[in-house]
Structure 1
């Protein structure tokens, strides 16, 4: 029964699997700094080659602070050139592609090199296979750690002083950032330089499929998340409820974990790995031109291995168990009707952490369903950028007052 239901769900959720090509070099911005040197990474390695791109204020003006951009799932930092330009008026802005994404993906990296050498369009349909190493987000956290260290190094060299360092992170990038901070903040010199984070549509909840597709998919998504949440982890529930939750979890988690793992095996995964369905783009932005770019952008990975998807679900579960300990100041923006990262994840995080720092703040976009806040139409896009800029300025002012 589980297998039949899972196959039906995959059929409903998956878009058409079509060949994917890139015909123009990767969109670069700023100056590129290679990040070399890998620490021990265990079974899951970080990216062998990592590029940090940096954009500084013009005319040699010293920055008031430094800012690291962290992109979302299956996208890439090259899309954020306009965002980098906006913040580079006052900040040194850095960005990178984390593991299996953008130029940290071997298939996309090779395609970029061939295009730069004058080759015709390149087939990048198998770029998603770089996700084979991802059964959790540890490789992404390792890349983030390397990017933070390099950002701090370049930031300190700007005018020979230690400027505040901020992170602006979107969606999965926000989950990577906060889970990294929970592990490293207070125990790592580079991580301790982070003065605040901006979280945009953070991936703190599993997706909820909209429309008729959700009638089939959402019960299984909710069952899987409920089972993972309770699996060998009792909550403060009455004994009969506790026993029921543990029974459901013990029956469900091994079956679903095993099914998603088998469907990610060589041979099977080429047929079983779903492509992003068409409805996703409609919930990313309200901009018709941006939707057209998203649909034609070959640098965006269109498929996600089920092992990777299940690993993200487990990361969300683990994060939620400890999120009340998150102590970095933050500014969080979320859309109330966003099905990609539903609002309940952000609301639970806010309820658990808002009191942890006086500078914590959030903005709930009550009438909006769109996920990529930095790619919306005007005037909302500019207003959100201004709001972020104002929060960063308040944080810098607070830090200066603390030093006096």
Structure 2
């Protein structure tokens, strides 16, 4: 047993050093946070205040209200152009997740320093705000607070209860889906929410490409497989059941312990991985957008391993219950996306597509890109138009 654990520790340590880690540097921000719309400050009782960004519709009367939900380690400031597109017809809002953007205390202080005249601000410790993220519960709570305030602002536009939609990307899609699974039967939410647009939602674990994948993917798959079976029989034959439980009982506690230990003070500055270089190449086909991504200091570039392991556990938990998801949706994903692979989307669609006639799936064949609404033209606008048409169809259908 000691030898097996020793080998496992060695594999994980090698994985961390070679695959996940990057050059440790001290990032700075020199440009102000990308603001759009009006700011509404929501107090959270001791936490960093939550800022809801709202953009009134450019039309005389908005037919619906759209809430934008961003992905892991980015921020809602990036979505200004997307917000302005939808605001041509809808009331639009967005917010920064817990520990992201201006909901991150380090980034908020940096924004304040720049506003007070500083040339630059050090944001290298921004990832430490993730220390409370053993799971996605803080992000779900932030989403719940933002959603309630958003619906109230939606009503205030012309004193009517207009339909509400959510457009959620990547990890924001997992946060949204898991939140709605808990609350989808609440009468007020059921009445107001007409649908969700999932953009490459995190319903699967990443599969790094190239040589990194040769090293990382076996361990990632082992960890995910063990987490999936951990204390959770899958109706397999008894010999396979015993093997899976033994494997998971050995693997999951070891990896959980290692990832937790590497998230402690003293170790986390060394062990917390930086965002791999390859990620940017698979986000978009737009060289202009890639340059903006590389220069955007408001993106959190490192992730505590506790947070990474918690996301994996959240993906596993969601997949166990995703067949119960009943909110109408439009699912958009790329066939070759290595960041949130297509098999997660396909599994979700297979068990939920028949739940509602409004459900639709758009698979982008041959594409490896993860951030569809940041792709180069004309693909970007064509996709936004497809989303808009789906929203219109939902508005014409009974709820």
TM-score (ref. length: structure 2)? 0.96
2:18 maps to 12
Q: Is the 8 A contact 1:186 1:192 kept in 2?
A: no
1:71 maps to 70
2:56 maps to 56
Long gaps (5+) in structure 2 = 1-6
Matches within 5 A, 1:166-181: 166-181=165-180
Whether 1:2 aligns to 2:5 is no
1:29 maps to 36
1:219 maps to 218
1:254 maps to 253
Q: Report the Cα offset of residue 30 of structure 1.
A: 0.3
Whether 1:200 aligns to 2:191 is no
State the alpha-carbon separation in 1 of the partners of residues 385 and 64 from structure 2: 16
Q: Report the Cα offset of residue 16 of structure 1.
A: 1.4
1:245 maps to 244
Runs of 4+ more than 6 Å apart: none
Counterpart of 1:363 in 2: which secondary structure?
strand
- Higher mean C-alpha deviation, range 289-298 or range 325-334: 289-298
- Cα distance 1:376–1:161, how it changes in 2: closer, same or farther (>3 A)? same
Q: Report the Cα offset of residue 189 of structure 1.
A: 2.8
State the alpha-carbon separation in 2 of the partners of residues 307 and 78 from structure 1: 26
Q: Is the 8 A contact 1:170 1:199 kept in 2?
A: yes
- Cα distance 1:265–1:192, how it changes in 2: closer, same or farther (>3 A)? farther
State the alpha-carbon separation in 2 of the partners of residues 133 and 208 from structure 1: 26
Counterpart of 2:154 in 1: which secondary structure?
helix
2:3 maps to none
2:344 maps to 345
Matches within 5 A, 1:120-159: 120-159=119-158
Q: Report the Cα offset of residue 227 of structure 1.
A: 0.3
- Higher mean C-alpha deviation, range 341-350 or range 184-193: 184-193
User: How well do the aligned residues superpose, as a CA RMSD in angstroms?
Assistant: 1.2
1:330 maps to 329
Deviations 1:156-196 (A, max 9, x none): 01111110000000000000000000011113634652110
Q: Is the 8 A contact 2:104 2:126 kept in 1?
A: yes
State the alpha-carbon separation in 2 of the partners of residues 81 and 361 from structure 1: 26
Deviations 1:21-78 (A, max 9, x none): 101111100001111254xxxxxx8x4300000011226x121000000000000000
Deviations 1:204-230 (A, max 9, x none): 000001101111111110000000000
State the alpha-carbon separation in 1 of the partners of residues 48 and 300 from structure 2: 19
Q: Is the 8 A contact 2:200 2:333 kept in 1?
A: yes
Report the number of matched residues: 392
TM-score (ref. length: structure 1)? 0.95
Q: Report the Cα offset of residue 386 of structure 1.
A: 0.5
Counterpart of 1:212 in 2: which secondary structure?
helix
Deviations 1:111-147 (A, max 9, x none): 0011011112001000000000000000000000011
